[in-house]
Amino acid sequence: MSSVPLPESPTPTAREEHNAQQAQIVAQQAATTIEAGEPYGNFSDDGYETDQDSTASTSISSSVRDYAFENGRRYHSFRSGQYQFPNDEPEQEREDMKHAMIVNLCGGKLHYAPIKEPQNILDVGTGTGIWAIDVGDEYPSAEVLGIDLSPIQPAWVPPNVKFLVDDCESSWMHKPNTLDFIHARHMVSSIKNWPKLLNQAFNTLEPGGWVELQDIQFKAHCDDDTIKDDYQLEKFLRLVHEGLAVFGVDAASVLKNKQLLMDTGFVNVEEKIFKLPVGTWPKNKTMKMIGLYMSSVVNDGLNGISMGPFTRGLKWSREEVEIFLIGVRKSLKDTSTHSYLPFHVVYGQRPLDT
């Protein structure tokens, strides 16, 4: 018996339409005000799904496999001490969860810079490489390079994606005027010298190429006065700032990204700010799901985020950190506090005549 091919659907399915509507509502609320609802209500199953079946053909090459251990966590050893957060399995899972959360918040977008048929993409501080792999799938004709201090990327990746162990704060070895897109996400807690990094990005981009920075501001906000003075999450975020400052990292520099890009000489600079809810307090189901992701990302990361800055930087003992975190965990469960962290997307273009 011959099989009859199914007709192609000429119009979007009801589910696709529903998903598109949801993405619109989320984008609108993330950019304005998130409506509060029942914290334990239903979740939608409309979340972004990452492609688990990417074609595999190329393995990464790196001999930097040594790690440092401290306070029960594993850290990078290449340029040891440069980055204050762990690189072990729990941290990698958390980074991948952050990726799903951010892509959801951005309605499925991996970037906002208006790149057209990119050929050479650089992902600075690629982490588990999840963004680089997804962008490699989205632009199969582009070569994507992800660089990081840690060789924690998967061994099998799409053929157009490569990884390299490298310190992005050192002098760049990439050929000048060659890249058409440079992306750096969640790097505000890492980079000490943004002007130097952005200058190197400018010179490495070809004229007309784009740079994009995506980062969370480590400060709890709310639109309805539900954050009280003793909100422990806010105290935690403040201490992370203080701990990172000891190492010359200004975590508040996310607020300067737009100006930094303009000062470097980038043009057509745009900034978008989205609200990232903490917890299940939003009414909208997708927002509620994003809030659940966010509280898990923070809860699962409390130990990893604080150990380096608090013990190395602020000289707390491991026990002092653990005791302090009890109160922070409690604050994350408090659904009467409608807090969110701003997520900043800034992109700009190297002028064509440079």
Site for ligand SAM, rule CB under 6 A: 76, 82-83, 95, 99, 125-127, 130-131, 147-150, 167-169, 185-187, 190
| Contact indicator for 347, 112 with CB cutoff of 8 Å | yes
The Cα–Cα gap between 228 and 225 comes to 8
Angle at 280 between CA 274 and CA 283, to 5 degrees: 75
Q: Cα-flanking dihedrals φ and ψ of residue 70, to 5°?
A: -160, 135
Name which of 179 and 222 has its Cβ closer to ligand SAM: 179
SS3 of 276, please? strand
Angle at 85 between CA 126 and CA 93, to 5 degrees: 60
Kindly state the smallest distance separating residue 338's Cβ from ligand SAM, in Å.
Answer: 26
Kindly state the smallest distance separating residue 259's Cβ from ligand SAM, in Å.
Answer: 22
Partner residues linked to 181 by β-bridges: 121, 210
Residue 58, CA atoms < 13 Å, CB-side half-sphere: 15
Kindly state the smallest distance separating residue 128's Cβ from ligand SAM, in Å.
Answer: 6
Name which of 304 and 348 has its Cβ closer to ligand SAM: 304
Kindly state the smallest distance separating residue 10's Cβ from ligand SAM, in Å.
Answer: 38
| Contact indicator for 167, 82 with CB cutoff of 8 Å | yes
Which amino acid makes up residue 156?
W
Name which of 95 and 234 has its Cβ closer to ligand SAM: 95
Name which of 180 and 212 has its Cβ closer to ligand SAM: 212
Name which of 126 and 264 has its Cβ closer to ligand SAM: 126
Name which of 30 and 227 has its Cβ closer to ligand SAM: 30
Name which of 106 and 130 has its Cβ closer to ligand SAM: 130
Alpha-carbon distances, residue 137 vs 109, 112, 160, 208, 319 (angstroms): 13, 17, 8, 23, 44
Kindly state the smallest distance separating residue 33's Cβ from ligand SAM, in Å.
Answer: 26
CB-nearest residue to ligand SAM: 127
Alpha-carbon distances, residue 168 vs 139, 157, 196, 197, 215 (angstroms): 24, 22, 10, 7, 17
Give the residue among 50, 53, 60, 56 at the shortest CA–CA distance from 158: 56
Kindly state the smallest distance separating residue 300's Cβ from ligand SAM, in Å.
Answer: 13
Kindly state the smallest distance separating residue 221's Cβ from ligand SAM, in Å.
Answer: 21
